C-alpha cells in the first residue's frame, strides 16, 4: 500500500464510521475563522465584500469542486481550487445591496472532494436600508498604470427624519485619498459627495478593500464603501520567463526579451546574470518606448539552472525581472 492509499484509508476510518450528519459537516472544520458574516445595516446600492479563509486541515489533497450561492444577489469564487495539506485559500464573497431591501441572509454551499465529498454551509447577511442610497455602489478604478492618479465619486443620499450627517471618511488601510463634501441639506433629505483618489505611489497588484464613512446614525455608525482596482507597472517585459529547455554543454544561445514602457525610457543596467551570461549587443542608449535586451548564454557546467535577471531603467525605481531557466546536459 502506497502512502496516498494509506492516508486515504485513515481518512475513511476517521469519517466513514461517523453518522451521515457528521460526514456532511466535516468540511465546515476547514473554516477555522467562522462560517458566517454579518455586514450589518448598509446603504441601498452598496457593494459588500468579505473573504472566508478555508484551510486544508487533512492529510490528503482537497479540491473545491463547487460553490453555489442561494441568491443572485451574492456571488462567490475561490482564489484557488486545489489545496495541499495545511494549505489555505479564500472564498471571496460579494453581496449586491441593490438587489434587495431590508434584512437578507444568503447561504453559500462550498463542496470539497473529490475522493471524499462534504459541503460547508457559509452564510452572509445584511440589512439594505432604503433610506440611505449609494450611487454608484462602489469605487472601481479599473486598471491603472502606476504613477498615474485616478479618481471616482460616490453620491450618498439620506431621506428620513434624522438630522443625518457623515462626519468623517476613513481609508487608513488603502492607498487612496478621500474628500468629503455636503451637496445639499433640506427637510428630510441630505446629500454628500465622496471623492476617492488613488495615490500615485499605490503598490502594484490587485487593490480591494473598504473605506468607511462615519455617521451620527446609531443604527449605521459606519458605512462601508468597497474600493477595487488593479495597479499595473508602467513597464512590461515579454517573455517574463526564458525557458531554454535542454542545452548542450558549451553551446551558445541567444535569446531576446522586449521591454515596453508607457513612455520613452532607457535601460540603465542588467543585473543578476549567472556565469556564462551576458548582454550582447548592449541596449540602445536612445530613449524609446520599446527596448530589446539580448542575452547570450554559454554554459560550462552541467545541471539545472534558474536565474532571475533584473533590468533597471530610468522610468521607474523597481526593475523588471526576467527568469532564465533550463538544463545543461554534459
Question: Please, which residues have CB within 8 angstroms of residue 186's CB and are 6 or more apart in sequence?
Answer: none
**Mean per-residue pLDDT, 84-91:** 96
- Strand duo 62-69 + 82-83: pairing: antiparallel
Question: Could you read off the pLDDT of 13-46 as tens digits, one per residue?
Answer: 444 444 444 445 899 999 999 999 999 999 999 9
**What fold does the segment set 3-130 form as a domain?**
Immunoglobulin-like (2.60.40)
HSE-up (13 A, CA, CB side) for residue 217: 23
CATH class, 235-329 region = mainly beta
pTM over 0.85: no
Please determine whether the domains at 3-130 and 139-232 fall in the same fold group of CATH. yes
Question: Could you read off the pLDDT of 58-67 as tens digits, one per residue?
Answer: 999 999 999 9
CATH of domain 139-232: 2.60.40.10
Please tell me the chain's helix, strand, coil percentages from 3-state DSSP, rounded to the nearest 5: 10, 60, 30
Sign, CA dihedral 75-79-81-85, equals negative
Question: Could you read off the pLDDT of 120-137 as tens digits, one per residue?
Answer: 999 999 999 999 999 999
CA distance linking residue 119 with residue 64, whole number of Å:
10
Across the chain, mean pLDDT equals 89
Question: Could you read off the pLDDT of 206-260 as tens digits, one per residue?
Answer: 999 999 999 999 999 999 999 999 998 888 899 999 999 999 988 899 999 999 9
Sign, CA dihedral 295-300-305-308, equals negative
Q: What is the pLDDT of residue 24?
A: 53
Sketch the domain layout of the chain as residue ranges.
3-130, 139-232, 235-329
Alpha-helical (H) ranges within the chain are: 3-16, 20-25
CA distance linking residue 245 with residue 130, whole number of Å:
61
Amino acid at each position: 500500500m502506497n502512502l496516498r492509499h494509506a492516508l486515504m484509508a485513515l481518512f475513511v476510518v476517521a469519517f466513514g464510521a461517523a453518522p451521515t450528519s457528521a460526514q456532511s459537516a466535516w468540511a465546515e472544520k476547514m473554516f477555522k475563522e467562522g462560517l458566517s458574516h454579518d455586514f450589518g445595516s448598509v446603504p441601498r446600492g452598496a457593494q459588500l465584500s468579505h473573504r472566508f479563509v478555508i484551510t486544508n486541515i487533512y492529510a490528503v489533497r482537497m479540491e473545491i469542486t463547487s460553490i453555489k450561492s442561494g441568491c443572485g444577489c451574492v456571488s462567490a469564487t475561490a482564489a484557488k481550487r486545489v489545496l495541499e495539506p495545511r494549505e489555505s485559500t479564500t472564498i471571496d464573497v460579494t453581496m449586491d445591496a441593490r438587489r434587495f431591501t431590508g434584512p437578507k441572509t444568503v447561504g453559500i454551499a462550498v463542496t470539497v472532494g473529490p475522493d471524499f465529498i462534504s459541503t460547508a454551509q457559509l452564510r452572509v447577511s445584511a440589512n439594505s436600508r432604503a433610506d440611505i442610497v449609494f450611487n454608484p455602489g462602489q469605487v472601481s478604478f479599473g486598471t491603472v498604470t502606476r504613477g498615474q492618479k485616478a479618481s471616482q465619486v460616490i453620491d450618498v443620499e439620506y431621506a428620513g427624519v434624522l438630522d443625518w450627517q457623515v462626519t468623517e471618511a476613513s481609508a487608513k488601510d488603502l492607498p487612496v485619498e478621500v474628500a468629503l463634501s455636503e451637496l445639499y441639506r433640506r427637510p428630510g433629505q441630505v446629500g454628500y459627495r465622496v471623492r476617492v483618489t488613488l495615490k500615485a505611489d499605490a503598490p502594484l497588484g490587485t487593490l480591494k478593500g473598504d473605506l468607511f464613512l462615519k455617521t451620527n446614525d446609531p443604527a449605521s455608525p459606519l458605512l462601508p464603501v468597497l474600493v477595487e482596482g488593479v495597479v499595473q507597472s508602467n513597464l512590461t517585459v515579454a517573455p517574463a520567463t526564458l525557458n531554454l529547455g535542454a542545452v548542450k554543454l558549451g553551446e551558445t544561445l541567444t535569446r531576446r526579451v522586449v521591454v515596453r514602457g508607457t513612455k520613452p525610457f532607457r535601460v540603465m543596467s542588467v543585473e543578476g546574470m549567472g556565469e556564462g551570461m551576458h548582454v550582447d549587443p548592449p541596449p540602445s542608449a536612445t530613449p524609446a518606448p520599446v527596448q530589446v535586451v539580448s542575452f547570450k548564454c554559454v554554459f560550462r557546467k552541467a545541471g539545472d539552472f534558474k536565474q532571475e535577471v533584473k533590468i533597471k531603467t530610468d522610468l521607474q525605481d523597481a526593475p523588471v525581472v526576467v527568469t532564465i531557466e533550463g538544463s545543461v546536459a554534459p
